[in-house]
């Protein structure tokens, strides 16, 4: 990380936010954690860099958790869609007569609406 763009961007951000003597050491010393000539500024930068690294790791962890949750919700939606499809198939024929929409019970209307909403987002009309 010491010689890439991310490190230089981090140094630039540090230098914009902090004051002090920002004279840099020779790059050969950077491997040992000596970036700035002023020891206090160097310690501040090392803390700044650790905070940045922690933030990046925490963000990656949050993204992984969000993706895992999303996948779990998607699986739940597929199971729900399949269950609603089976339920509608079991009872729809009983109400298949003139003016069907008027005579459908509310629970069946609700099941159809939910199934159709899930179909659009998860199944792309695979019926």
Tens-digit pLDDT profile for residues 50-82: 999 899 888 888 888 888 787 777 777 778 777
Give burial (CB, 10 Å; 0-12/13-18/19+) of 36: buried
HSE-CB at 123 with a 13 A cutoff on CA atoms is 17
CA angle 53–54–58, rounded 5-degree value: 120
Quick: pLDDT tens for 92-119: 666 555 555 556 677 777 777 777 776 6
pTM of the full predicted structure?
Answer: 0.53
- Per DSSP, 26 falls in state P
> How far out from the chain centre does Cα 92 lie?
39
- Per DSSP, 25 falls in state P
């Amino acid at each position: 990380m010491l010689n890439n763009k991310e490190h230089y961007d981090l140094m630039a951000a540090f230098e914009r936010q902090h004051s002090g003597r920002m004279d840099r050491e020779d790059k050969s010393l950077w491997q040992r954690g000596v970036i700035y000539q002023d020891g206090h500024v160097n310690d501040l930068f090392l803390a700044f860099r650790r905070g940045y690294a922690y933030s990046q790791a925490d963000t990656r962890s949050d993204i992984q958790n969000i993706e895992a949750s999303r996948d779990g919700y998607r699986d739940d939606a597929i199971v729900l869609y399949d269950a609603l499809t089976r339920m509608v198939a079991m009872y729809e024929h009983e109400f298949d007569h003139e003016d069907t929409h008027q005579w459908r019970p509310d629970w069946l209307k609700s099941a159809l609406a939910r199934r159709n909403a899930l179909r659009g987002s998860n199944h792309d009309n695979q019926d």
